[in-house]
Structure 1
Amino acid sequence: MSKLPDLEGLAVFAKVVELRSFAAAAEDLAMSKATVSKAVTRLEERLGARLFNRTSRRLALTDAGQSLVERATRVLAEAQAAEEEASHQSSAPRGVVRLAVPMSLGITTLGPVLPAFFAAYPEVSVDLHLSDATVDLVGMGFDMALRIADLPDSSLVARRLRAVKRHVVASPAYWGKYGRPTHPASLAEHRGVTYGHQASPETWRFRNAAHEEVSIRPHSVIRANNGDVLVPSLIAGVGVAVLPDFIVGEALAAGMLEEVLTDWTASPIALHLVMPPGGPRPARVEALAGYLAKVLGGKG
């Protein structure tokens, strides 16, 4: 084996993973598809292991490929950052940033602040992926993501931007029919409208200033993997939900929903900016990260 690692092969492999396609990687790298294929084959031969399972319609990482992708992505990112610094691109960020964001947050909170970013950085573009599912940043080639959660320890670099308040809400008609609970334990007797993309979605946990903790499991009338789709059912009086302010804030302000149990707090969650490990990062990524931290950050 050569004393020098196959840096080109690693970078090409990372680009194929990022774009999920040999052809797309070839176009992005200004190479022929044959050159890209040969680079990956050469790397596979060097490592003695297949990195992809390839069919005419699907490209999937093998176990060996999955174990290599994080470091290969880091090699590519560091090489790009080094070139940008050497060519003075740090003063004028340019290129594409791949960003993953939960659907509702993207529409209500991120969308309105992006135009100002593009005005400040006209040579940076954003490939925005909206989904409430937690994406694999490294495996899917994302530069960063916004996540709303109580994040567990992981290899990702996470920056907490602000706390996210959740409200126990239902329509005035629902509270009139079923009664307003004065303690979270009473919610076990109510009809739940449940958001599915969270840890233990069927269990609602609460805590008050006296550090009393309560966990309940309401009967779910509807469960969905997106919060916005639940709001019409809430307004119609179908049930009660625990949802964040960026989903139910307008309906609360309009009086279509009413909050209860304001002296209790649902399990704490926060808005985080997360990125794959390693560095330095390209100037375009640092520019967007800094901007999002500024405009979306806050106290709490």
Structure 2
Amino acid sequence: MTRAEGESWLATFIQDVLDRLSARGIGDTSAHLRWDRVRASSKVDEEKALCEAAGSLGLDPYQISDEIASFIEEAEGLFLDREALIEFVSGSIGTDKEKLLGWVRRMAKTAAGSYRLAELRDIVADVTTVAPTRDGEPAWALGYRRARSMRRACELEQNHRFTSFKHLAERFGAGQSYSLAPKVDGINALRRERPDGVHVHLRNHGDSAEARTSHLFAMARAIGDAACFPETKIAPINGLQHAYRQSAGRAFAAEFLAPVDEVMSMQNDKRDIFSIANEFAVSPTLIERQIENKTRISQACI
């Protein structure tokens, strides 16, 4: 079921329930009032975006505080794509929202070449031509397909490894000055389309081994976001687990960094999960997921 089909089914269900209540003489309830407001808001793009963003925070859009309303409205001015907006707002739960917004505003204004992947846009254009979108395609399938297509476009051998986020960034045209963005909670990376190319602002996680792994994976996710959603001008990469574009980016990153065929070959050679993960500079969990998903990765890439 697509999102549009789901929304249509739910709207019909709600209306049927309210019609039955009205037929029994119960027609002036808070449910009727809220549904009238929802229907009215759904006809105005700005109001619909605000309602969905508030809903992603688990809040009633008609009873949110001025502070939350202001946060959503400011975010709406930065993230013009509705899905990107909703995922950004939803990913802000439990964070300092003003600090997060300030970080995004600073990154959105900078034109520094230290965040630019000069060659990514042209490669993405080739990838989207070779692997066009499919109607109703699950997020993971889109991510896996585009990852394989991207590796082919980059002429990477099956056993090619990326050792760090800088190593990966350089493959897409980043210069020696490419660097991490300042630390902030609520986002892993910000991907922007600029006249001079794609810019990826990779949030600094620190200097630990786990942080280095996170940097590489987040960079691959940002590249995957550009490959899967090239029409979006600015998009967040964050910790949401079930959001469509975040799921697509994770699937892309997994298959791009650690191709399942190579992982299975190494496992057949009696390599354990941890040594395979170390070889690809990724987490053992990623390798486990690749092995678990080997069948559907193959099916997605048919």
TM norm. shorter chain > 0.5: no
* TM-score, with structure 1 as normaliser: 0.24
Larger RCO (CA under 8 A, 6+ residues apart): 1
Question: Which structure carries more strand by proportion?
Answer: 1
* TM-score, with structure 2 as normaliser: 0.24
Question: Which structure carries more helix by proportion?
Answer: 2
- Highest CA radius of gyration, 1 or 2? 1
